[in-house]
Amino acid sequence: MLLAPPPGSHVIDACAAPGNKTSHLAALLKNQGKIFAFDLDAKRLASMATLLARAGVSCCQLAEEDFLAVSPSDQRYRQVQYILLDPSCSGSGMLTRQLEEPGTGTPSKERLRALAAFQQRALCHALTFPSLQRLVYSTCSVCQEENEDVVRDALQQSSGTFRLTPVLPSWPHRGLNTFPGAEHCLRASPKTTLTGGFFIAVLERVEVSR
C-alpha cells in the first residue's frame, strides 16, 4: 500500500520469499508491468512460485540471486522506479516467534551489528538504481539499530538524493527521535498499536529544480 506502484510499473521485491508481499504487489499492479523478485533460498522460492501461480500472478520474474549482487546498471532494471526492501532482521517484534522460541525477543549485540550492517548495505545498494523514485524499507524488528539507524546512515550516504516522505499522518506510533525527519517513519508495538512490532520508512527521490 505505501509503495503504491501504478499498473505498468517495474518493481523490485529485494527479499521476496515466501511471496505474500509479491502477490500483493501484483494485485496493486493489476498484473501489469514487471516485478523482479529476488531471494537466496531455493526451497522458499519454489514455494513462492507455487503461491504466485495459484494467485494467477503472471507479471513476476523470480531469481535465486542475492539482491546485493544485482547490478543497478543492468538493462533489465533500467525502468525500475519502485523497490520493496524487507530484509532479514532479528524478528524482535514477532510475538509468535517469541512464544514459540523463548529468548528470541532480545538479540545479542553481535547479531544486531551483523544484521544492521547487512540491512544498511542492502538499503544503500537499492538507492543506487538509476530510475528509482520510491522505496519502502520495513522490518519486523523493534530495535533502533535495525530501523532508524539504518535509514539515517543510508540517507547520509545518499547525499541528499533521497528523503523520508511523510505517510499515514494519523498513525499513533512514529519513529524514534534520533535524527531530523525520523518522525516520518512508522513503528508498531503491542503496547502502542496492539499489534506485533514492526518498522516502516518510505524514501523518495528528491526532485531537482531546473
The pLDDT of residue 72 is above 80: yes
Q: Is 19 annotated as a binding residue?
A: yes
Structural contact between residues 72 and 129, judged by C-beta atoms closer than 8 angstroms = yes
Output the pLDDT for position 1: 81
Q: Is 30 annotated as a binding residue?
A: no
Consult the annotation and say whether 15 binds a ligand.
yes
pLDDT at residue 93 tops 80: yes
Q: Is 20 annotated as a binding residue?
A: yes
86 is in an annotated binding site: yes
Q: Who wins on pLDDT, 118 or 102?
A: 118
Of 183, 194, 88, 174, the closest CA to residue 139 belongs to 88
Q: What per-residue confidence (pLDDT) applies to 104? A: 54
Percent of the chain at pLDDT exceeding 90: 87
Mean pLDDT of 105-131: 95
Residue-level pLDDT at 191: 86
**109 pLDDT band (50/70/90 cuts)?**
very high
What is the reported pTM?
A: 0.93
pLDDT at 3: 97
Letter for the amino acid at 125? H
With left for phi above 0 and alpha for psi between -120 and 50, is residue 159 left, alpha or beta? left
More confident: 190 or 157 = 157
Residue 190, pLDDT > 90, answer no
- Confidence at residue 40, expressed as pLDDT on a 0 to 100 scale: 92
User: Which pLDDT score is estimated for 97?
Assistant: 59
- CATH 3.30.70.3040 given to domain 10-205: no
Cα distances (angstroms) measured from residue 108 to each of 30, 60, 103, 116, 126 = 42, 37, 10, 12, 27
Q: Is the pLDDT of residue 96 over 80?
A: no
The 3 state secondary structure assigned to the chain is CCCCCCCCCEEEECCCCCCHHHHHHHHHCCCCCEEEEEECCHHHHHHHHHHHHHCCCCCEEEEECCHHHCCCCCHHHCCEEEEEECCCCCCCCCHHHHHHCCCCCCCCHHHHHHHHHHHHHHHHHHCCCCCCCEEEEEECCCCHHHCHHHHHHHHHHCCCCEEECCCCCCCCCECCCCCCCHHHCEEECCCCCCCCCEEEEEEEECCCCC
Q: Which residues pair with 188 in a beta bridge?
A: 198
Active-site residue, from 59, 89, 140, 185: 140
In whole angstroms, what is the distance from residue 70 CA to residue 125 CA? Answer: 9
Based on the residue annotation, tell me whether 59 is a catalytic residue of this protein: no
Q: Is 66 assigned to a binding site? A: yes
State the pLDDT at residue 105: 62
CB contact at 8 A, 162 and 109:
no
CA 185 from chain centre, in angstroms, equals 13
Q: What are the pLDDT digits (tens) for 78-87?
A: 999 999 999 9
pLDDT tens, residue by residue, 14-66: 999 999 999 999 999 999 999 999 999 999 999 999 999 999 999 999 999 99
Tell me if 33 is assigned to a ligand binding site.
Answer: no
As a whole number, mean pLDDT of residues 106-134 equals 96
Q: What is the mean pLDDT of the chain?
A: 93
